[in-house]
Amino acid sequence: MGDAIGSDSIDIWLASERFIFDHEVDAPPQGVELLQGIDIEDEAFEDWLREQRQLNSRSYNSARDDEDIPASTVSFVQRSPREFVGRHHRKHCTVIFDTSAKGDLDADVAAMFFSEQLHRSLDQYDVFSCVSHSHNNTDGRNGQTPIDRLAVIVRINAFAYGNEVCIGVALDSGAQGRRLDFKSAIVSPGISQLRSSIKIGGLVRHTVETLLDNLEFEALPAGATAEALMLANQARKLTFKLDKQSLLIAEDLLSRAYELDPRGQYIAWRGFLRNTAFFQHRDANIFEEAYASDVLTLEALHQAPNNAIVQAFSSQIDYINQGNLAEPMHKAERAVALDPTDPLARALLSNALIVNGHLNEGYEVALQAIVLSSGGRYEFYFHHFACMAATAAHNYETALSHARASTNSMPHFVSPRRYEVALANHLGDQQGVDHAVGAMRLVEPEFELQSLLDPTYPVNTLRRLPIIETVQ
The Cα 243–Cα 240 span in angstroms is 8
pLDDT band at 141; cut points 50, 70, 90: very low
DSSP class of residue 453 equals G
Positive or negative, the CA dihedral 219, 223, 225, 228 is: positive
The three-class DSSP label of residue 170 is: strand
Of 305 and 217, the one with more pLDDT: 305
Bridge partner list, 129: 94
pLDDT band at 142; cut points 50, 70, 90: very low
- Phi and psi at 173, nearest 5°, equal -100, 120
Angle between helices 224-239 and 198-214 (to 10 degrees): 110
Which pLDDT value is given to residue 347? Answer: 93
Rg (C-alpha) for the chain, rounded Å, is 23
Report the first-to-last Cα separation within the chain, whole angstroms.
Answer: 40
Please check the confidence at residue 138 and state whether its pLDDT lies above 60: no
Judge contact between 257 and 73, C-beta under 8 A.
no
Which conformational region is residue 177 in: left (phi greater than 0), alpha (psi within -120 to 50 degrees), or beta? left
Which pLDDT value is given to residue 190? Answer: 85
Element (H, E) at 313: helix 308-317
Q: What is the mean pLDDT of the chain?
A: 81
Which pLDDT value is given to residue 323? Answer: 58
Q: What is the rounded average pLDDT of the residues 100-121?
A: 89
Q: What is the rounded average pLDDT of the residues 125-153?
A: 63
Q: What is the rounded average pLDDT of the residues 268-284?
A: 91
Which pLDDT value is given to residue 140? Answer: 39
The Cα 346–Cα 185 span in angstroms is 20
Per-residue pLDDT tens digits for 437-454: 999 999 899 998 888 888
Bridge partner list, 159: 102, 166
pLDDT band at 326; cut points 50, 70, 90: confident
The three-class DSSP label of residue 333 is: helix
Which pLDDT value is given to residue 180? Answer: 81
Q: What is the rounded average pLDDT of the residues 102-113?
A: 89
Judge contact between 362 and 389, C-beta under 8 A.
yes
pLDDT cut 70: percent of the chain above it: 82
Which pLDDT value is given to residue 75? Answer: 40
Q: What is the rounded average pLDDT of the residues 143-147?
A: 51
Judge contact between 308 and 342, C-beta under 8 A.
yes
Judge contact between 452 and 462, C-beta under 8 A.
yes
Please check the confidence at residue 416 and state whether its pLDDT lies above 60: yes
The Cα 407–Cα 449 span in angstroms is 18
Interstrand relation of 93-102 and 152-161 (parallel, antiparallel or unpaired)? parallel
Which pLDDT value is given to residue 92? Answer: 75
Which pLDDT value is given to residue 219? Answer: 64
Which pLDDT value is given to residue 32? Answer: 66
Which conformational region is residue 375 in: left (phi greater than 0), alpha (psi within -120 to 50 degrees), or beta? left
**Between the CA of residue 430 and those of 197, 420, 470, what are the distances in Å?**
41, 12, 14
Q: What is the rounded average pLDDT of the residues 264-290?
A: 90
Per-residue pLDDT tens digits for 215-250: 765 666 667 788 888 889 899 999 999 999 999 999
Please check the confidence at residue 62 and state whether its pLDDT lies above 50: no
Q: What is the rounded average pLDDT of the residues 102-120?
A: 90
pLDDT band at 24; cut points 50, 70, 90: low
The Cα 272–Cα 278 span in angstroms is 10
Q: What is the rounded average pLDDT of the residues 371-385?
A: 90
Which pLDDT value is given to residue 74? Answer: 39
Angle between helices 343-355 and 359-372 (to 10 degrees): 170
Please check the confidence at residue 87 and state whether its pLDDT lies above 60: no
Spatial CA neighbour of 28 closest among 46, 54, 7: 54
Per-residue pLDDT tens digits for 37-49: 777 777 777 777 7
Angle subtended at Cα 231 by Cα 228 and Cα 234, rounded to the nearest 5 degrees: 150
Which pLDDT value is given to residue 49? Answer: 78
Q: Give the largest CA-CA distance in the chain.
A: 79
| Most confident residue range from 30-39, 143-152, 187-196, 385-394 | 385-394
Q: What is the rounded average pLDDT of the residues 404-430?
A: 92
Residue 369: count other Cβ atoms within 10 Å of its Cβ: 30
Q: How many CA atoms lie within 13 A of 294 on its CB side?
A: 7
Which conformational region is residue 144 in: left (phi greater than 0), alpha (psi within -120 to 50 degrees), or beta? beta
The Cα 435–Cα 120 span in angstroms is 45
pLDDT band at 84; cut points 50, 70, 90: very low
The Cα 174–Cα 179 span in angstroms is 9
pLDDT band at 397; cut points 50, 70, 90: very high
The Cα 69–Cα 376 span in angstroms is 24
The Cα 103–Cα 106 span in angstroms is 8
